């Protein structure tokens, strides 16, 4: 799936010797709106981000844990064909893809002076430059800097222009988001895992473990089985309440039993995000 989406969505860039024939590429691939408005290689960038969420998110991801949404700022509001959006959300394992009109909805900015450059330039006036930068609208200043534009501040009553190289732009993801940015494009994953999302993620992980157990037990692909699930406490309740049918369908389970497996079942112990489970499978 990843390779299919990359083929569909990665834009063709013109080269010096072979300028891009925009119309031909639009007709042959995915249409004018997508080519003009979305650099999907950046939309797909959260695939790598999701792999590192254990380090930056306030929660730990286990297996195929789904997340609520991915938010994308591409220098203004954009749209994506619904069919292609479905492909992207499936690959990113998120429920929705949304475009936001500005990166300020994803991160907070702090505008700082580059001490090494501005210190020698302004000398004793440097503290006034720092103070002037603190009065700027951080979102507006960040947009100018990211566009390569100069920033104007007033120091001792006089206008002064500062180049992007003379300014340091610090970003901090808004609470609950894991953010990556590149070339003026910002992508954020909503890293808050609700109880419903956690139950779905654990159900998917149970399916993965049971499928592996089927193989380890030597079952044939078409064999119908009975699956036994035994867990401590009430941690299983929200999973089986909403996802029992899914688990059965994905694993060819005709009976899903909450209880200890019999002696002739193939059994394994598992721990899913702190939930200790005894899983058993038996061919019907």
Question: pLDDT of 99-121, one tens digit each?
Answer: 888 888 888 899 999 999 999 99
In this prediction, residues 249-275 reach a mean pLDDT of: 95
Which whole-number Å values give the CA distances from 214 to 12, 39, 115, 221, in the listed order? 44, 42, 62, 8
Most confidently predicted of 14-28, 85-99, 215-229: 215-229
pLDDT band at 17 (very low <50, low <70, confident <90, very high): very low
- More confident site: 59 or 34: 59
pLDDT of residue 155 exceeding 70, the answer is yes
Give the list of residues 6+ apart from residue 83 with CB closer than 8 angstroms, or none.
none
List pLDDT tens digits, range 159-206: 999 999 999 998 888 888 888 776 667 788 888 889 999 999 999 999
Q: What is the pLDDT of residue 182?
A: 65
Question: 37 or 270: which carries more pLDDT confidence?
Answer: 270
Confidence at residue 12, expressed as pLDDT on a 0 to 100 scale: 27
Alpha-carbon span 283 to 219, nearest angstrom: 7
Average pLDDT in the chain: 79
Task: Name the percent of the chain lying above pLDDT 70.
Answer: 74
Q: Is the pLDDT of residue 20 over 50?
A: no
């Amino acid at each position: 799936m990843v390779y299919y989406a990359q083929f569909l969505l990665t834009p063709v860039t013109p080269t010096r010797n072979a300028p891009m024939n925009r119309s031909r590429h639009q007709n042959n691939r995915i249409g004018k709106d997508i080519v003009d408005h979305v650099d999907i290689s950046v939309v797909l960038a959260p695939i790598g981000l999701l792999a590192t969420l254990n380090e930056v998110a306030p929660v730990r991801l286990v297996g195929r844990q789904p997340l609520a949404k991915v938010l994308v700022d591409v220098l203004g509001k954009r749209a994506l064909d619904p069919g292609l959006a479905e492909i992207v959300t499936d690959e990113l394992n998120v429920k929705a893809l949304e475009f936001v009109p500005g990166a300020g909805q994803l991160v907070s900015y702090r505008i700082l002076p580059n001490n090494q450059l501005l210190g020698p330039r302004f000398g004793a006036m440097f503290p006034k430059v720092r103070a002037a930068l603190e009065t700027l609208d951080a979102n507006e200043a960040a947009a100018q800097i990211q566009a390569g534009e100069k920033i104007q501040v007033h120091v001792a009553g006089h206008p002064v222009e500062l180049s992007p190289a003379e300014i340091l732009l610090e970003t901090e993801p808004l609470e609950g988001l894991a953010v990556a940015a590149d070339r003026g494009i910002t992508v954020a994953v909503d890293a808050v895992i609700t109880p419903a999302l956690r139950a779905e993620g654990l159900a998917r992980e149970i399916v993965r473990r049971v499928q592996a157990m089927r193989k380890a037990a030597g079952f044939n692909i078409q064999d119908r089985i009975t699956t036994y699930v035994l867990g401590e406490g009430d941690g299983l309740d929200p999973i089986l309440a909403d996802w029992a049918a899914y688990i059965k369908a994905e694993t060819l389970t005709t009976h899903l039993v909450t209880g200890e497996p019999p002696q002739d079942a193939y059994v394994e112990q598992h721990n899913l995000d702190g939930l200790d489970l005894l899983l058993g499978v038996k061919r019907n």
